[in-house]
Each structure stands twice: as C-alpha cells, then as structure tokens.
Structure 1
Amino acid sequence: MATTTVLQDELRRKHDELSGRLAHARSIIARPEQTRRGCPPIDQFNAGTSRYLHAVDEALLPAVSANCEGGDGLVHDYLPTARHLEVLVFHVKAHEYGSTWETTHSWSTLWDEVEKALDAQEEKEDEMVVHLEEEASDDVLLLVAERIMAAERRAPSRPHPRLPHTGLSGKVVRRLARPVDAVCDALENRSVGGPKPLPHKKPGLIWQYLLGDPRFPDDPANQTRHNEPGDR
C-alpha cells in the first residue's frame, strides 16, 4: 500500500482549477453580438477540461488496468462518465457559437449538467485512485502523477467522445487529434490557453557542432548573437 498522496493531491488540484474555470465561464452573460465569436473563459474551460480528460486516459487508466485487481472493470465503469462530460463540453462549444441545435437548452440548464457531470467524473476517478493507492507502490503513483502532467501538455484541446480512449488506438488518436485541434483553434481564433511547455534542453556537443554554435563553460551563449561572419 502506497504512503504518498502526490497523485491524489495533483488530481484534486486539477479539479479545483477546473471548478474555478467553470465558475468563471458560467458567470459570463452571453449577448447576441457575441454569438459565433467565442468567449475566452468558456473556450479555456472547454480546452482545459478536454486536455485533462485526455491526460487521464493517457496516464491514469493504463496504470489502473496494470496495477489493480479488477482494474479493467474500474476503467470500463469510468469511461461512460468521462464520455458524457466530453459530450457536454462539445455542447457548450456549440451553444457558445450559436448552433441552432442548442436553442432548446438554456445556458443555466447546460451549466448545471456540466457541473454534475464534472462531479460524477471526479467521483469515478477518485474510486480508481483509491484502488491504485491500495495496490500500487509509491514509485508507481509518482510516475502516474508525472505522466498526467506531461500528457496534459501534449493533449488535444477538444473533446473526442466517439473516438477510442484506451489502448494503442487511443494513443494514436490523441497524437493525431492534437495538431488537428490546434489548426481548428487557430482558424476559429479560440483562446484555449494551456499548460506552459517544458523549457528546451541546452544543445549537446553534437548539436552545437551541427548548428555551428559551440559554447564553452567560460563563454556562455550570447542570446543577441546572430552568428554572422565576423561576429566571433
């Protein structure tokens, strides 16, 4: 049985963040002139929720299946709840951009459904985490927490409830969906935010040679240098 709470703490922090984004998004009063133009708080809630769900699919679900007795059953029970939340996030975007299919739902009704679905997803997620903490080691939990944070940085910014979520097919879908979502976001001028990317590593000796930009301990790289002839 694990003793660390790092995974539980990380997931709770993410849900607190999503709850804050949801509260901000639902506080926006939509006006007719905003239709089809998007709203940054709503876009950021949608994108943040989508990225988080994709990250859970990428990192948490395989760990539960591999380390928990009956893990496949836990994952199977979780997926309908996650897909339902993804469908609602899709409806939020359609509502935001004035889809005629959304005229029968008010914003307040839709936000209430989203809040309930987010709570239900967290409940099912907690159930998996409890089993994982009981049956996995601290090292596994630390690795899962790190993988969730890393997966969120490269996750698609839109929900894909009808596509595979687990296994190799799920990984392939997420890899393909991310650039497609990025192009669509750019075309729609959506403000999707997202986790900050990790800083680039300094180039090694081989890359310094290939780039023609050697760096020595007593001669750090000059960020303003353009590597023009005669500059050195």
Structure 2
Amino acid sequence: MTHDDSLTLTIEATHRSLEQRLREARRPHRDPHRPRDNYAATDTFMAATSRHLAAVEASLLGRVRHQVPDGEQLCHHYLQAARRLEHTLSLLKGRLYGEAHAIHLAWPELWETVGSELGEHNRIEGELVEALVRCRPDETDALARQVFESEVSGPTRPHPYTPHTGLFGLAARRMWAWADRLWDAAEGRVIPDPVAPPHHRHDSLLAQYLVADPKFDADATIVEHRHRVHPKAGGVT
C-alpha cells in the first residue's frame, strides 16, 4: 500500500482507531461507581465503526467501481465483508441492550466474531484503497476529505438490512443519519470525532505532542524548521 498519500494515511489511522476502540470495549470495566463504562465503550465502538462503513460506501465505492480495473469485483468483496461486520454489530447492539433476538448470545464468542470480521474488513478495505490510489493518485486529498465529511454526517448505528449502494443506498444513509441523530440527542449518546485527514505540511513531533494528536508524522523532525525573510537584509535566516 502507498503510505504517503492523504487517503491511505486517513484510512490506516481510522483502522487503528477502530481497533483501539474495540480493545477498550472488550476490556472489563469493574468500577462499581461507573457501572455504565462498559456500555459507553461498546456504544462508542459501534458508532465509530457504523459511521466509517457508511462513509466508505458513500465516498469510495462508486469511484472504485467505475475507475479501477476489476473495480466491480473489488466492491463486491468489500460489500460482503462490510455487511457481515454490520450484521454482527447489530447483534452486538442487541446483546448490549437486552433485545430478545440477541440476549442468548455469549459475549466471548460475539467479541471474537467482531474482532475477526473487523480485521477482515480492514484488510479488504486496504486493498480497495490501494487500488484506487494507484489509479487516481491526484485525487487522494479530495477523497480523504470526502470520507471524513461523510463520517461526520453519517449514521451512528448499524443498519444491515437497508440498501448500501446506488440512489437507494444514498437515501437510506441520509434517512438513518437523521433518525440516529435524533436518538443520540434523546439518549445523550457521545459520538466520537472521526479521524481527520492529515495536513500537507509535516508538523514537528513537538507540534504533534502539543496538540495531543501524534497520528501521522512519526518521522517528522523534533522541532519544525521555518525559513523567514529578515526585514532589513532581505535574506533567509
């Protein structure tokens, strides 16, 4: 995979974020004074993953299908993995909130399935992004921004039985995003911010540390070097 373009960096950082949220959701929370911590961590993972799935379908699949060789096959494989993951997320949601169709599911097996399907989804999405970047290297910045903006405004719950592509998919995502926002507000649900695309300028490690967001430029210099024009000499210092 190409590792120096905005789209690849954003997708890779999003995958790491989702995997970290999954680890946090699986971690036992036994503080008697914070009984809902486990609910919150699981809910946050589901919301972040649901938004990312919808964002990729909204922003990338159409371009892959029409601009990448064998794009139809790539999209088919991706959608299979995404639908499996979204269906399991709906079971996870049902188990978390005690819905009748999922109450019998055992947590260890359910978490194992979620982890396996998330890993497979991320692998296939990586291949899809790599193929798209090879074909459209000049569009990676715009595509990374589109994915981010779609995540910000996307549905925050899994909806595995609604259309995923085409005009019906677009209408379904908009409808569910609107409905999910209403429920989120009513329930006081905290929705995490998605991973933003990297800046073109490579921030120094010190700058990344100060904003507490060291996601992208791990090979940056310790401090940022700037060139400025001296007001009298007119030279570069």
TM-score higher than 0.5:
yes
Distance of 1:155 and 1:133 partners within structure 2: 23
Q: Residue 100 of structure 1 aligns to a residue in which SS?
A: coil
Residue 3 to residue 10, structure 1, CA distance change in 2 (3 Å): closer
Alignment partner, residue 159 of structure 2: 160
Among the aligned pairs, what percent are the same residue? 33
Query: Which one has more relative contact order, counting CA pairs under 8 Å at least 6 apart?
Result: 1
Deviation at 1:133, TM superposition (A): 2.3
Distance of 2:3 and 2:36 partners within structure 1: 49
Distance of 2:195 and 2:62 partners within structure 1: 25
**1:45-194 paired onto structure 2 within 5 Å:** 45-136=45-136, 138-194=137-193
Distance of 1:142 and 1:61 partners within structure 2: 16
CA deviations 1:35-92 (Å, max 9, x no partner) are 9998211111110000011110111111211210121221112111101111111111
Alignment root-mean-square deviation, CA: 2.8
Asked whether the 8 Å contact 1:163–1:173 carries over to 2, the reply is: yes
Distance of 2:13 and 2:3 partners within structure 1: 19
Residue 148 to residue 107, structure 1, CA distance change in 2 (3 Å): same
Distance of 1:106 and 1:131 partners within structure 2: 38
Q: Residue 192 of structure 1 aligns to a residue in which SS?
A: coil
Q: Residue 158 of structure 1 aligns to a residue in which SS?
A: coil
Distance of 2:26 and 2:145 partners within structure 1: 31
Distance of 2:135 and 2:195 partners within structure 1: 32
Deviation at 1:102, TM superposition (A): 2.6
Q: Residue 28 of structure 1 aligns to a residue in which SS?
A: coil
The letter of the residue matching 1:82 is A
The letter of the residue matching 1:155 is G
Q: TM-score, normalised by structure 1?
A: 0.75
Distance of 1:196 and 1:128 partners within structure 2: 19
Residue 3 to residue 43, structure 1, CA distance change in 2 (3 Å): closer
Distance of 1:37 and 1:14 partners within structure 2: 22
Question: Gapped runs of 5+ residues in structure 2?
Answer: 197-237
**Count of matched residue pairs:** 195
Asked whether the 8 Å contact 1:46–1:158 carries over to 2, the reply is: yes
Deviation at 1:22, TM superposition (A): 0.5
Deviation at 1:105, TM superposition (A): 2.2
Distance of 1:89 and 1:140 partners within structure 2: 31
Q: Residue 60 of structure 2 aligns to a residue in which SS?
A: helix
CA deviations 1:146-193 (Å, max 9, x no partner) are 110111111010111111111122111111111111122233443333
Asked whether the 8 Å contact 1:51–1:155 carries over to 2, the reply is: yes
The letter of the residue matching 1:8 is T
Distance of 1:196 and 1:53 partners within structure 2: 13
Residue 67 to residue 37, structure 1, CA distance change in 2 (3 Å): same
Deviation at 1:100, TM superposition (A): 3.4
Residue 96 to residue 125, structure 1, CA distance change in 2 (3 Å): same
Distance of 2:103 and 2:154 partners within structure 1: 31
The letter of the residue matching 2:138 is D
Distance of 1:88 and 1:35 partners within structure 2: 24
Larger Rg: 1
Deviation at 1:195, TM superposition (A): 4.2
Q: Residue 101 of structure 1 aligns to a residue in which SS?
A: coil
Residue 30 to residue 104, structure 1, CA distance change in 2 (3 Å): farther
